[in-house]
Amino acid sequence: MLGSNSDYYDEYRRLIWWLFFGTRGGSMRLRIVEYLNEKPSNLNQISLYLGINYRTSEHHVRILEENGVLVSRGDKYGKIYYISPAFVDKLEIINKFKEKK
């Protein structure tokens, strides 16, 4: 469990707030993470499940990958996205922010 007073925890809180709650695309990124937490998928599957354009899913997944939330395996269209093992324990921070809304 993350200590609520640590700099590490605060840094992740800021990152999570920005990625999922502080920007216009945050709600879509939150939906993507919630979906991938249940079922690792490729971009086409993400797009179809969420009812969004392929390019939109590609954009949000790239942001999540660049920020260490997602990792991938495979190449090109077969690339499967997963929640990063380093981020799995940070999902509790997302839930705390959702409870406050």
* Mean pLDDT of the region 71-89: 93
pLDDT over 90 at 33, yes or no: yes
Which amino acid belongs to residue 90? K
**Do 94 and 20 form a contact (C-beta atoms < 8 A)?**
yes
Q: How far apart are CA 80 and CA 98, in angstroms?
A: 27
Comparing CA positions, the residue from 101, 84, 94, 92 lying closest to residue 18 is 94
Q: What is the pLDDT of residue 39?
A: 97
Under DSSP, is residue 65 helix (H, G, I), strand (E, B) or coil? helix
Burial of 77 (0-12, 13-18, 19+ CB in 10 A): exposed
pLDDT over 80 at 4, yes or no: no
Q: How far apart are CA 98 and CA 21, in angstroms?
A: 9
Q: What is the pLDDT of residue 101?
A: 65
* Mean pLDDT of the region 3-10: 66
